Amino acid sequence: MNSVAGEGSDDPWETNLVFTKADLRDVVPHDNDPVVISVITAGRKVHRVLVNQGSSADVMFWSTFNKLQLSPDLLRPYTGCLYGFVGDQVEVRGYLELRTTFTDGTTSRTKSIRYLVINSNSAYNILLGRPALNRLRAVASTRHMKMKLLDLSGRVIVIKSDQEEAWSW
């Protein structure tokens, strides 16, 4: 998908979020690199955030939770089950809502994101899935290695994927 059209909608958040050839200028040629960005949450910049359009949950890994020095008392019980890519059940420690800021350095938007905190190893610190992307009304393009969303005034925020972070394990 290269654009989201908002014609005929009276919703101020619906606008054309378009990816163009200009968005390809700073992209290193790649073979299916993931979109990996940084966000600010719990007052700290968190790198290695995977934009995962295939995930039905927004996930924070237990190691990240600990690095952010968050109190386990913040976790609320989660009674559902979460299954990994290969169908194995993943231990959910609980969930919490954290204000998370998305910025391109010139403009930003902060939204409360509900993260499931899981006890599992990952090359990433956070997985942003469909719930966050839909709440933000964000559109990601793996070809352009970017995610776009609107700030509160309607300006487009363009968050570039950090291709070096995506390559390093």
Per residue in 112-159, pLDDT (tens digit) is 999 999 998 899 999 999 999 999 999 999 999 999 999 999 999 999
In Å, what is the CA distance from 136 to each residue of 21, 78, 80, 99, 150? 24, 23, 24, 12, 8
Per residue in 32-84, pLDDT (tens digit) is 899 999 999 999 999 999 999 999 999 999 999 999 999 999 999 998 877 77
Task: Enumerate domains of the chain plus CATH numbers.
Answer: 33-167 (2.40.70.10)
CA atoms within 13 A on the CB side of 82: 22
Per residue in 117-128, pLDDT (tens digit) is 999 889 999 999
pLDDT band at 30 (very low <50, low <70, confident <90, very high): confident
pLDDT band at 1 (very low <50, low <70, confident <90, very high): very low
Q: What is the pTM of this model?
A: 0.88
